[in-house]
Structure 1
């Protein structure tokens, strides 16, 4: 085990030439540098954050949802039917016309009635708008709070105004309490998302988001371990700038404030494009790739860090394309709302004779039930 630890923490990989871990472990005159062991504090903090979230959603978010007339009860439940339940659980949740005709004859029901039963049964297993509202309200609260904290903290730092200060004196850059708090809080939040993902609303991108949260935890920990925390704070700040706007758009959508939802989605889209496609490459990548090269020089973990940030930029481009496509389609339809990928299927068509021929809306990638593009354009909170 000692040999594995020595191999993993090889100084020639993690640190610039002629710098050792012993150099960074010295605490002369109250000076302290980041240590990997500091990150262990994020685990109990994540547990506490998870517990606080449960209380917040139950007593604060749930109360707000009820005030907005968003209730947790399922509006319609499928009537008990052993035959259809067996088909639903064992064969298919979306029967084709052949299955529908056979079940219609077997039960002596109209095809429309069988369709309605399966539609209600599918929606019965899906999370209520109330549950999604509470989850989004917690995320909005955290993202907005950490963004405001990051803005207040970075406003007073020299590297906010001149990114070359991210590298002056590297890696002998002092760890301040405010910087440590910023880093550990972000790390604890993503640890808490790993915990809560197993109790949260189940979505189609469960595996992708789980991997994303692991990658985020890894990148935050990586940048802390080799004291790239200054530029790390810039990365976190850039990504936090748009996340709370998307959650706000979702809340407006769930509360059926469509104009507010549309406005917030537009602001989110513009902010996302500006921060991820302009500010991030010009402000952050330029510093990590070119300024650091001139001031510090490359070393193995420097190369890895920049490769990961470049991969992140590729993801920014992909997500921006998806968001732009959503926005363009919405504009062409004449209104920004009207999300055809709602995950709670509309029952309005059931009252129309044409409903037997209607193709039901596809499930939303991220499990929302409204008509706002925000419902289907949730890029994951990106890693640091």
Structure 2
């Protein structure tokens, strides 16, 4: 184990020439970052996870209810032992052949079975209230850590002169505020390890959708698009990549870790370009659809990552006789019969 650690922490890989780990040991005069500091993130991650549970229950949930966020989940499918067995043991997305077989077995029309499977899939999705609470937690943490970071950064000399980042490097004493910032960030992302299997992964702008504030949601999307593109395609390459690729090399010369980190930063920039393309594509799609009617520049089309699979779960206003006639033509059977009242008082829509 000692040999593996010695190989991993090889000084000639991580550090500039003529610098050793012994040179970076903390003293009474100066405190330097230590690898052992990372261990603090593990207990703090658990604490953050517990804070999240309390926050969602006692702060986010009352706020959501006060904003009239829907507490119920998607509509539940009618209990059916045969379909439930197929859903849980075979497939959640039956093909045409299996649908026809189930239609004959149950004496249901195909569209009723398709609708049952849609409702059953949506039934496993969390409620809007749950999604709102998670989004509010993430929004609150990100807002706090961003505000803290900006307050710290504006006091530093390297905000406008990035060459100041490398003055005296790596003999730079660890600043308490900077240490707190990184440990808090690391602990937060470690806390996601505890919740990754229950997280819903929704953006903070989704809260406006859950509250049915479409104009606010559109405004947040527009703001997000502008901030993302300016920061990722402007500030990041001109400030960050410029100083790590060129200014750091001029100040310290060449060493292996420098290029490893720079390659990772360049890969991140490639991802920024790809994500920006997707954002612009979504905005263009919204604008194009708006041209058909009275266009609102802030109106964003429905998110492709919709919480519910399809709006086809909503009832159509097609007359019942027309729907049944179509069913008979398609399936060769009057599928309304033998449905145990499943279609009573409603019609079914086509699977899109």
In the TM superposition, residue 60 of structure 1 has moved relative to its aligned partner by 1.0
Residue equivalent to 2:23: 23
In the aligned structure 2, how far is the partner of 1:39 from the partner of 1:298? Answer: 27
CA deviations 1:27-75 (Å, max 9, x no partner) are 142x111111111111111110011001111111111111122243224
In the aligned structure 2, how far is the partner of 1:75 from the partner of 1:15? Answer: 55
TM-score (norm 1): 0.78
Gaps of 5+ in 1: 204-245, 360-384
- The change in CA–CA distance for 1:340 and 1:310 in structure 2 (over 3 A counts) is closer
1:135 aligns with 2:91: no
In the aligned structure 2, how far is the partner of 1:248 from the partner of 1:198? Answer: 19
Asked which structure has the greater CA Rg, the reply is 2
Residue equivalent to 1:315: 271
Matches within 5 A, 1:1-384: 1-29=1-29, 31-201=30-200, 247-334=203-290, 335-345=299-309, 346-347=311-312, 349-353=314-318, 356-359=349-352
In the aligned structure 2, how far is the partner of 1:5 from the partner of 1:68? Answer: 53
Q: Which runs of 4+ in 1 moved over 4 A?
A: 352-356
Aligned residue for 1:351, secondary structure, equals coil
Aligned residue for 1:161, secondary structure, equals coil
Mean Cα deviation higher: 33-42 or 103-112: 103-112
Mean Cα deviation higher: 160-169 or 348-357: 348-357
In the aligned structure 2, how far is the partner of 1:316 from the partner of 1:288? Answer: 17
Residue equivalent to 1:365: none
In the aligned structure 2, how far is the partner of 1:143 from the partner of 1:196? Answer: 17
CA deviations 1:213-250 (Å, max 9, x no partner) are xxxxxxxxxxxxxxxxxxxxxxxxxxxxxxxxx93321
Residue equivalent to 1:235: none
In the aligned structure 1, how far is the partner of 2:251 from the partner of 2:230? Answer: 28
In the TM superposition, residue 143 of structure 1 has moved relative to its aligned partner by 0.6
Structure 1 vs Structure 2 CA RMSD: 1.8
In the aligned structure 2, how far is the partner of 1:303 from the partner of 1:42? Answer: 27
Aligned residue for 2:212, secondary structure, equals coil
Which has the larger share of helix? 1
Residue equivalent to 1:379: none
In the TM superposition, residue 127 of structure 1 has moved relative to its aligned partner by 1.5
Whether the 8 Å CA contact 2:233–2:273 is kept in 1: the answer is yes
Gaps of 5+ in 2: 291-298, 324-347
In the TM superposition, residue 347 of structure 1 has moved relative to its aligned partner by 4.9
Whether the 8 Å CA contact 1:25–1:33 is kept in 2: the answer is yes
Whether the 8 Å CA contact 1:258–1:337 is kept in 2: the answer is no
In the TM superposition, residue 80 of structure 1 has moved relative to its aligned partner by 1.2
TM-score (norm 2): 0.85
In the aligned structure 1, how far is the partner of 2:146 from the partner of 2:171? Answer: 27
CA deviations 1:123-178 (Å, max 9, x no partner) are 11111111111111111001100000000000101111211111011000111110
In the TM superposition, residue 3 of structure 1 has moved relative to its aligned partner by 1.2
Whether the 8 Å CA contact 1:77–1:121 is kept in 2: the answer is yes
In the aligned structure 1, how far is the partner of 2:260 from the partner of 2:197? Answer: 31
Aligned residue for 1:269, secondary structure, equals helix
Mean Cα deviation higher: 65-74 or 279-288: 65-74
Aligned length: 315
In the TM superposition, residue 341 of structure 1 has moved relative to its aligned partner by 4.2
In the aligned structure 1, how far is the partner of 2:222 from the partner of 2:281? Answer: 13
In the aligned structure 2, how far is the partner of 1:75 from the partner of 1:299? Answer: 56
In the aligned structure 2, how far is the partner of 1:294 from the partner of 1:28? Answer: 31
- The change in CA–CA distance for 1:26 and 1:120 in structure 2 (over 3 A counts) is closer
CA deviations 1:314-340 (Å, max 9, x no partner) are 111111111111111111111413235
In the aligned structure 2, how far is the partner of 1:307 from the partner of 1:82? Answer: 55
In the TM superposition, residue 76 of structure 1 has moved relative to its aligned partner by 1.6
